Structures are given as structure tokens and as C-alpha cells.
Structure 1
Amino acid sequence: MSVLARVEYKREKPYPESKIRLIKSIEEYARKYKYMVVVSITGITANVLHETRRIIKSKGGMLKVVKNTLTKLAFERLKEEKKGLEMLEKHLTGQNAIIFTNENPFEILIYLSKNKIKREARAGDIATSDILIPKGNTGFPPGPIISIFNKVGVPTQIKEGNIWVQKDTVVAKKGDEITQDIADLLNKLGIKAIEVTLQPKAAYMDGKVVEGPDLEIDVGKYEEQVTQAHREAFNLAINAALPIPEALRLAVAKAYFEALSVAETAGVITPETAERILAKAHATAQLIYEKIKDKIEQSAS
């Protein structure tokens, strides 16, 4: 029985100066910035990367496309300074970039999510929102493109020597797969229809690595939960008559009207209840009179 020993490859030749500079640059950024977020850039276009880089720079950070092997070497050299950084290494597969920032990574990722960048549609893409071709002049003269309009169901007419779209037309709803015809038409019209943002794989924060799924926050959901919690706490404070500034005025008003109701029910005459008690007594007397008035009249006759 043969035993196969696992032999790790070790590079014998020194790295070229250009690669050494890349390793050192990652080390410098890791020392300069408090947090790092590894993001996937697979399928991300150069224009989207450029715009994302601009957005992150405006927040005081930077986005750097990295080589996985060189980045792992940089992390290895930083393991004494940045405890736990080696845990990021398993996420360095595929095509990646790193966001270096001194701001809370959650805030950066939420900001990116709110500022998604649109790119050209490709066949097979999934529509991130309803895609509409607006009414008006396309600027295209009559030609083969008319057949594409017809295929995707966009009504057109020829006017003033150009193709005009007769009405706003949704060619794909959110969640639909983009066909080749739709992609071709959108790109010819210059409509960037697919919203994209960088997908986080993991973040290094204060000596710990936070996995990608834990970095994705549904802001709308949390806002709704906070609003609901505030509403329930406010109602509890009023019902429990807690003497806090936010609830005191309504709690006093509630207690006043409850006391007024008890006094009216019990027939306690006060300046506040007299009019309503007398009105109620009058109405009751009137009701009794209506029920017995026929008997009174018969007795009188």
C-alpha cells in the first residue's frame, strides 16, 4: 500500500519587482485603513468598477482590484499586526477587489446598495426592475431595427423620417429573463437597464471576519421593525401611564377621559359631567315616556 505525501509548492524564484510592489501596496492600504471588505467582481464591467471606485473614494475609502495569490502573501506578512486577517484568505477565489475604508463596512455597503449603477443588458440577465422603452422619437431612420421593435411588442410609427415609439412600453418586468432581442434593442437605444452593485464576500472588522450573508442588510425591513417597535413602546407607555415626556400628555388626556366616563356612568355631578348626565337622563325619560304615553292617555280618558 503506497502512501502519497502532500507536497506544498514553494516558489524558488524571487517575485518580479512589479509583483513585490503590488504586495507592498496591499500591506500599506491594510495598515492605513481600519476595515477591509472582499467583494466579487465577476461579471462586473469596467465602467461599473470605475463608477463604484468613484463612489467609494467620495466616502474616504478606496477600491482596489487584487490578485488572489499576491493578496494572500500580503496577508501572511500582516498576520502579526492584523490578528485574524488570514481568515479572509478562503474568500480569495475567483475575481475580487477589496474595499479599504475607515468607515463602518455596513454603512459603505448600504450606501452602495442605495447607489446602484446601471449597465447594458445582456441576453440571460434577470431584470432588476421593470424595463420601459419611453414614448417618442428614437432617432433611428426606418430599417431592419423595426423588426426588433415588432418582436418585443413595441408599437412604432414612421414620422418625420424617423421611427417613433407610440407609447411607453414595458418590455420586461422585474424578475424576467432578458432575451437577445430585448438586449439588442435596449443597447441600440442606449438604455442601461440592469442595476448592479458589488457583492460582498467577507469583511475584516476589529480582528474578526464577517461573512457575506451577514453583511447584507435589508434597510427597509429594519426601518419597518424599528417603526413598529416604537409604535408598540409608545402605546405601552400611554397605557401604563409612564411619566415620560413623549407619552405624558396623551397619558394624562387618556386618564382624564376615562375618569370622565366613569363619573358619567356613575351619575356623579361635576361641572364637566353635569350637562352630559342631564342630557342622558332627559333622553332616558323621553324614551320611557314614549313607551308609556299610550297607557297614560287611555287612563286619562
Structure 2
Amino acid sequence: MPKSKRDKKVSLTKTNKKGLLLKQKIIEEIRNSLSKYEHIFLFTVDNMRNTKLKDLRNDWKDSRFFFGKNKVMAVALGRTKSDEIEEQLNLVSKRLKGQCGLLMTNRDVIEVLQWFKDFRAAEYARAGFIATKDVILPQGPLEDFSHTIEPHLRRLGLPTSLERGVINLIKEYQVCKKGVALTPEQASILKLLGIQMAKFKLVIKCHWTKGKGFHKDLDVLSDQETDNENDNDVVEDEDMEEDES
């Protein structure tokens, strides 16, 4: 009787014993999940936040998310037509590039696509994020801040002084400019001001259905893929939080 491709042992080089066991575990779990779920969706992530990914798992308890090394997930599915676990899964593997993950589910395809199209979560921008608007602070008191934070504000570059226990901005200050990448200091100031410019979102790029095969869902680049293309620096294998569900 021929041996199932699901049971095929995979050689993973250039890794220590602990790392090897972890990679083998991910491969085994992905392959075992193939028998439980009808659909596999490949998605990219804009403004990745691990806390948001944990929230997603709670919303999709009947499904399974996988995040980790793209190359390991590709091995689990099969990188070529000759070693793919199911027909046309190699077409999914070939698209595992950058910051992305897999969703395995039995929910209806239309429901999944619509859910992810609608899903957005505001987040604080980090250094390197392209500012979406100008933020200018007028001269005068910053009454929302405790006086104890004044030295920290000065370290971040704000021209402040402490007058009768109230932080005062000595002159007008532009925190950031629309279209320009944020510095670490600017990102910290925006967070202190409670201004959330970033949007955490997942973009479905393609899906695979048991018995039907591969389907491309989107040719348009996500926000961060566009940034990478512009910088000529497309990340091939980005680490994400490993699957915990």
C-alpha cells in the first residue's frame, strides 16, 4: 500500500534540536488539520499586533490559525506539484511571502471573505509607519498630561517647561507630517496623545477548497506590501507569533 504524503518525513536543515521539533510539530499540525477543514485561506497582515491575533482566535474558535515560518508552512502543504499533500496546494505555498498566515476553516467562503473585508482595528502607529495626517500642537498648556511626565516629553523633543505644576508647550510643535515615516520619538508622542493612525487588518490573498482546488482572491497589494515594493525590500520570510490554539 503506498505511503500517504501526510505521513512523509521532512528533512529540515540548519536548525537546532529544539527548533527542529517545533518545526516538525507545526508541519504535523497543519497536515492533520487538512483532514478537519474544507478551506485554507492565505492572508497578509497590515500593522501586525500579537494581541489582536489572539482576539481573532477567540472570534474564530471553530477554525484554526497558523502563523510562523513561511518556509515551514510551505513544506507542510507541499512546495511543488510532486510533494503537495493535496492537489493544487503548492499554489498556496508559492504565495507564502512576507508577513502572512493561514486560516483553516469550515465556514462558508463568502462569509470568510466578507468578514475579513469588513474587519479593521485601530492601532497606535510604530516607527517607520507613514503618517496619515499632519499633527500640530499649539503653543500653550498641555493640561491632559501629569507634571511628572514633563522630563520625558522633553526627551522626546517637545519644547516644554513646567509652570505652576502644569506642562507648557513653549512654542507650536509639529509632531509629524502627512506622508513622512514616523521616528520612534514621534510614534511615542502620538501614543501619549491617544492618536491611533495605524489600522490592523488581514487581507485574504487566495484560498484552497477540498475537491475544488486553488482560487486567487486578490491581486491588489496590501498596505505594507505596497510599502515593501516601493522600498525594493520585499520580506521573503517574516516571523510571526506561533500558533497557540
Matched position secondary structure for 1:108:
helix
Give the deviation of 1:129 after TM superposition.
7.0
- AA of the residue aligned to 2:73: T
TM-score by length of 2: 0.58
Alpha-carbon separation, structure 1, partners of 2:215 and 2:58: 26
State the match for 1:186 in structure 2: 190
Match among 144, 154, 158 for residue 137 of structure 1: 144
Per-residue CA deviations over 1:44-93 (Å, capped at 9, x if unaligned) read 23233323333333xx323211433333333239846x332221121123
Contact 1:85-1:208 at 8 Å conserved across structures: yes
Q: Which residue of 2 aligns with 1:199?
A: 203
Residues 130 and 170 in structure 1, CA contact (< 8 A), matched pair in contact too: yes
1:54 aligns with 2:58: yes
Give the Å deviation of 1:102.
1.8
Matches for 1:221-236 after TM superposition, within 5 Å: none
Instruction: Kindly state the Cα deviation for residue 183 of structure 1 after the two structures are TM-superposed.
Output: 1.4
Instruction: State yes or no: 1:177 paired with 2:180.
Output: yes
In the alignment, does 2:125 pair up with 1:89? no
Q: Given the superposition, is the C-alpha separation of residues 139 and 50 from structure 1 closer, same or farther in structure 2, using an over 3 Å criterion?
A: farther
Q: CA separation in 1, counterparts of 2:144 and 2:54?
A: 31
Q: Are 1:19 and 2:19 matched, yes or no?
A: no
Structure with greater proportional helix content: 1
Is 2:66 the counterpart of 1:64? Answer: yes
What are the ranges of 5 or more consecutive residues in structure 2 without an aligned counterpart? Answer: 1-9, 223-245
AA aligned to 1:114 is: D
Q: State the aligned residue count.
A: 194
Equivalent residue, structure 2, for 1:219: none
Q: Match for 1:123: what amino acid? A: A
**What is the deviation of 1:97?**
1.3
Matched residue, 1:29: 33
Amino acid at match of 1:96: C
Instruction: Tell me the amino acid that sits aligned with residue 89 of structure 1.
Output: S
1:89-128 alignment runs, 5 A limit: 89-127=93-131
Structure-1 separation of matches of 2:34 and 2:60: 16
Q: What is the root-mean-square deviation of aligned Cα atoms in Å?
A: 4.2
Percent same amino acid at aligned positions?
Answer: 22
Structure 1 residue 98: deviation in Å?
0.5
What residue is the counterpart of 2:241 in the other structure?
A: none
Q: SS where residue 143 of structure 1 aligns?
A: helix
More strand by percentage: 2
Structure with larger Rg: 1
User: Which deviations, in whole Å up to 9, do the C-alpha atoms of 1:163-203 show, x marking residues without a partner?
Assistant: 389xxx99668x63343243120234454431121233322
